[in-house]
Amino acid sequence: MRFSDDFIAELRSRNDIEDVVSKYVDLQYRGSRTPKALCPFHTEKTASFIVYRDTQSYYCFGCGNGGDVITFIKNIERLDYVEAVRFLCDRCGMTMPTDPVDDEYLRLRRRCYEANREAGRFFCACLKTEAAAHARAYLEKRGLKPETVQQFGLGYAPDTWDSLVKHMKSKGFTESELVAFFLAKQGRTGRAYDVFRNRLMFPIVDLRGNVVAFGGRVLESGTNQAKYVNTSDTVVYKKGSGIYALNFAKNNKDRTLILCEGYMDVIAMHQAGFTNAVAALGTAFTQEQISLLSRYCDELILSFDGDEAGQKATQRALRLLANAPMKLRVMKIVGGKDPDEVIKTQGKERMRELISSAPNDTEFALSAAETKYDITTDDGKLGFLNEAVGILAGIANAVERDIYISRVAQRTGTSREAIVQQVRRAMAAKKKRSEREQFETEAREAAGDDKGKIPNPERRTNLRACKAEETILASLLKNPDYLKRYASMLDADSFITKVNKALFIDIAERIRAGRPLELSYFAENASNEQISMLSYLIALGSRIAGTPQEFEDCIRTLADEKMKRSAAAASDMSDDDFVAMIQNKRKKAGV
């Protein structure tokens, strides 16, 4: 299937490569213009996987995997080209340019939404039955009002093996659909049985109002069952991608969101009037969730449990949020183990106070460090200062940094100047470290050249020529006008290696036809090697000068290499071959 250039352009612009990649790898931003990461396509200890924002491409200098956002999805999700396009369409809400009626995938999605809606209705109805008395008692004990239960669509999954399966079959859904939608599982006998049994059900609603998944909470404590059973990946839901209650919280006017740990906290907060509370679904907070949150808030208040696990979760979230665009604050949950309990035992007003007095991330980190040491002793003071200096050195804003330096000085009775000096030293060391990392990456990039990761089999034996060819091609991608300008000096025959010659022919054709030169437009028909080579060239594009001078130098280098080769070839030739070659040349020249 062919896609139009316009369609691919739209798809690319709606799927920012940095955004997409960050869902799969931890991008590091320290000390470099371009984010990098440990490569998801090969095992490595230092990051060689680089994302280029301006060209919307990526390239791994360790294994040579590279391409655009479509190639990335193709490789990481192991899809074919059309499936990868479909995946990205889906991600950004675009429609595939096909007839939706016969599109099996779209049909399946529609069925999944319908099934979830029907299952949600069924669970709600079950909550009202006699068999659900204990579930209602639990909700009452947690202080949830009937309106709240209704607003969040809470339900009950009966304590049987096939209530839902039977109900759904009566509504026309097949067992295999239910299994695919994670509402049922296939038993050993081949019959389907309910995934959710004797659980309080929390439907998960996306921003368009569709039920996309369920969380089922165990009702009997002390059993050895998992506390939560959650929907796995389906055609409409990807684990770790959603934010619970964002469908309600997204309209909040002051663009502040409160991030809680669980469903019950969020619901209790909403009931108490804090309608900007949300929770990250899934056990691990992901970059994709962060980028989703950042679209709906300028300030994020973390409100995790007060226990040790909650504090660890807070630290982890803060690390992940370090490069997030929003302001961060951390609520201190005192007088209860979680927000739900605080509201219940101390009331809304107390909660409001906790929210407004929540310290920012620096204050939080400093006070967390302080609790680790006894700063009335010299050893404790030193330990705390060491840690504090690290935190202070990480503050980008100079005014802010100054304020906290004064505070730490005051708190520990140390001179301000001494701390300033330490912080400066730490910042310099940090800068040096990131410069060294940058240097190492570049050295690896250069070394990578010789490791033969660049998919050109002739490269090793023709390094000088190859480098000139690569620079020419990379420059041409940036400056298509050079093709015409140097037409008298450069054509396909100027190239020595087959791979680069073929690329030149392809690129030149595109330039003459006025077609776009971004990677995506090549991706459809190109082989993996060609894509890898092209993304290497695009990566190279950001490191070369791209000037006419450089271009001309490379053309001369190529001509020089070509001459050396024909001289060498001539000396290796038999007399007959030599004569044939001369005659051939004469014929070409028309002599």
Cα radius of gyration rounded to whole Å, the chain: 31
Nearer to Zn ion, 43 or 221 (CB): 43
Only one of the segments 9-17, 57-65, 252-260, 437-445 lies at the binding site for Zn ion (rule: CB under 5 A); that segment is 57-65
DSSP 224: S
Nearer to Zn ion, 159 or 437 (CB): 437
* Counts for the chain of helices (H) and strands (E), in that order: 25, 15
42 part of the interface to Zn ion, by CB under 5 A: yes
Q: Which of positions 473-532 make contact with Zn ion (CB under 5 A)?
A: none
Nearer to Zn ion, 24 or 41 (CB): 41
- Tokens 């000085």 belong to which residue? 409
Q: Are 499 and 564 in contact (CB under 8 A)?
A: no
Q: Min. distance of Cβ 65 from Zn ion in angstroms?
A: 5
Q: Min. distance of Cβ 433 from Zn ion in angstroms?
A: 23
Q: Residue 206 region, left (φ>0) first, then alpha (ψ -120 to 50), else beta?
A: beta
Nearest to 532 by CA among 64, 195, 33, 142: 64
DSSP3 helix / strand / coil % (the chain, rounded to 5): 55, 10, 35
Q: Are 118 and 173 in contact (CB under 8 A)?
A: yes
Nearer to Zn ion, 48 or 116 (CB): 48
Long-range pairs for 264-268: beta carbons < 8 A, 24 or more residues apart: 264/142, 264/217, 264/340, 265/303, 265/338, 265/339, 265/340, 267/144, 267/148, 267/152, 267/154, 268/142, 268/143, 268/144, 268/339, 268/340, 268/343, 268/344
Q: Residue 84 region, left (φ>0) first, then alpha (ψ -120 to 50), else beta?
A: alpha
Nearer to Zn ion, 36 or 86 (CB): 36
Nearer to Zn ion, 44 or 552 (CB): 44
Only one of the segments 56-64, 82-90, 209-217, 341-349 lies at the binding site for Zn ion (rule: CB under 5 A); that segment is 56-64
Nearer to Zn ion, 45 or 188 (CB): 45
- Tokens 């967390």 belong to which residue? 368
Count of CB atoms within 10 A of residue 113's CB? 18
Q: Min. distance of Cβ 69 from Zn ion in angstroms?
A: 17
Strand partners, 106: none
Nearer to Zn ion, 60 or 297 (CB): 60
The correct pick among 41, 87, 161, 578 for binding Zn ion (CB under 5 A) is 41
d(CA 92, CA 85) in angstroms, rounded, equals: 11
Q: Min. distance of Cβ 9 from Zn ion in angstroms?
A: 27
Q: Min. distance of Cβ 331 from Zn ion in angstroms?
A: 40
d(CA 561, CA 559) in angstroms, rounded, equals: 5
Nearer to Zn ion, 42 or 136 (CB): 42
CA distance to 153, 472, 561, 566, 571, per residue, from 462 (Å) = 67, 15, 9, 14, 19
**Is 244 strand, coil or helix?**
strand
Q: Min. distance of Cβ 451 from Zn ion in angstroms?
A: 11
Q: Min. distance of Cβ 59 from Zn ion in angstroms?
A: 9
Only one of the segments 54-62, 470-478, 493-501, 550-558 lies at the binding site for Zn ion (rule: CB under 5 A); that segment is 54-62
Q: Min. distance of Cβ 102 from Zn ion in angstroms?
A: 38
Q: Min. distance of Cβ 537 from Zn ion in angstroms?
A: 17
Q: Which two tokens stand for residue 379?
A: 């050893």
Q: Min. distance of Cβ 41 from Zn ion in angstroms?
A: 5
60 part of the interface to Zn ion, by CB under 5 A: yes
**Is 15 strand, coil or helix?**
coil
Strand partners, 194: 184
Q: Min. distance of Cβ 499 from Zn ion in angstroms?
A: 20
Only one of the segments 63-71, 146-154, 265-273, 569-577 lies at the binding site for Zn ion (rule: CB under 5 A); that segment is 63-71
Total binding residues for Zn ion by CB under 5 A? 6
Residue 79 burial by Cβ neighbours in a 10 Å radius (0-12, 13-18, 19+): middle
Binding mask 245-284 for Zn ion (x = CB under 5 A): ----------------------------------------
Only one of the segments 35-43, 284-292, 315-323, 441-449 lies at the binding site for Zn ion (rule: CB under 5 A); that segment is 35-43
39 part of the interface to Zn ion, by CB under 5 A: yes
Nearer to Zn ion, 60 or 330 (CB): 60
Nearer to Zn ion, 60 or 395 (CB): 60
Binding mask 351-380 for Zn ion (x = CB under 5 A): ------------------------------
d(CA 431, CA 365) in angstroms, rounded, equals: 21
444 part of the interface to Zn ion, by CB under 5 A: no
Q: Min. distance of Cβ 539 from Zn ion in angstroms?
A: 13
Only one of the segments 39-47, 82-90, 249-257, 565-573 lies at the binding site for Zn ion (rule: CB under 5 A); that segment is 39-47
67 part of the interface to Zn ion, by CB under 5 A: no
Q: Min. distance of Cβ 42 from Zn ion in angstroms?
A: 4
The correct pick among 8, 22, 58, 62 for binding Zn ion (CB under 5 A) is 62
Nearer to Zn ion, 63 or 331 (CB): 63
Long-range pairs for 402-411: beta carbons < 8 A, 24 or more residues apart: 404/362, 404/363, 404/366, 407/366, 408/366, 411/370, 411/375
Binding site for Zn ion (CB under 5 A): 39, 41-42, 60, 62-63
